[in-house]
Amino acid sequence: MKLLITGAAGFIGSALAGRLLERGDTVVGIDNLNEYYDVNLKKARLERLSTREKFTFEKLDIADCLGVKALFARERFDALGACRTCDATSSLCKTGQPNEVENNITTFSAANREESACSCCD
């Protein structure tokens, strides 16, 4: 399977990515590498994952609709693992729009199905 993991540099996202890679899956990880805690810890996790042939990483915020659309224009996924957190520095939290998280999941799903429902940045 080919999977997209959001928050791939985080504690849970990186562990999930590692397990999926061990299973033989192909994993694309995205993360905005926010500074809620030491970014070097996140970079070290990504370095470990990057030794795996079937892992690719893109620094991307899930609120970046154009970036997300561009990703889905290049890639197709069988599943999405949403492991980003809503912490104090998250752009989603800062905007005060909690529904954006849900909207992004909808966007992910629509983009993966090549539907026109992804209207956030049309």
Q: Smallest gap, in angstroms, from Cβ of residue 97 to ligand NAD? A: 12
Q: Please, what sign has the CA dihedral across residues 94, 97, 102, 108?
A: negative
C-alpha span between 27 and 16 (Å, rounded): 10
C-alpha span between 64 and 110 (Å, rounded): 15
103 binds ligand NAD (CB under 6 A): no
Closest among 82, 71, 75 to 8, alpha carbons compared: 82
Q: Smallest gap, in angstroms, from Cβ of residue 58 to ligand NAD? A: 10
Q: Are 78 and 3 in contact (CB under 8 A)?
A: yes
5 binds ligand NAD (CB under 6 A): no
C-alpha span between 28 and 65 (Å, rounded): 17
Q: Smallest gap, in angstroms, from Cβ of residue 86 to ligand NAD? A: 6
- # binding residues, ligand NAD (CB under 6 A): 23
7 binds ligand NAD (CB under 6 A): yes
Scan residues 41-70 and list those touching ligand NAD (CB under 6 A). 42, 61-63
Chain residues that interact with ligand NAD, rule: CB under 6 A? 6-7, 9-13, 30-34, 36, 42, 61-63, 83-85, 90-92
